[in-house]
Chain A
């Protein structure tokens, strides 16, 4: 691809491109933002730490958990339907569980 090719693609995007109706490949809302964030982060050389308090270069703790097959399949299907990663769902679920049980005393 040359600069001229990209110039042509830019003209197409500006004047002729139309977004498809009833698209099955579009992402919206949080899914769209997640996709865009990952796109930029990967291209910048890696994803930032999942821990906002981590110092640069610090690795996050890892815990391995064995799951019953049915629960694992359920997690995979749930994450896939939302175009998210199982690890994200597990972190969210654990956070919600701890918060709700902490409130309950």
Chain B
């Protein structure tokens, strides 16, 4: 059981502890996604297991306005 980080998770220079704090204080969690376009080939839901024994983080970024808008919709 461990938390590991892909090199791509550090692209925006966000501190790992800050990223974990964001996960643990999430406002929104989505577990189903649309099909990825190339170069991505795998949907996140195919490798994020619930409940996981290991957590591998592949990307961390500041939430986009379009995503923040989604948080306010469909309530």
Contacts and interface: CB of A to CB of B under 8 A. Distances in A.
Interface of A: 1, 3, 5-14, 16-29, 31-33, 35-40, 42-46
A28 B71 contact: yes
B7 interface: yes
Interface residues of B, number: 47
Contact of B29 (A32, A43, A45): A32
Given A43-B1, A44-B3, 14 more contacts: A6-B6, A10-B11, A10-B58, A19-B67, A20-B30, A25-B31, A36-B25, A37-B23, A40-B23, A42-B51, A43-B3, A43-B54, A43-B55, A44-B1
Contacts, number: 139
Interface string B1-43: 1110011110100000000101111111111111011111110
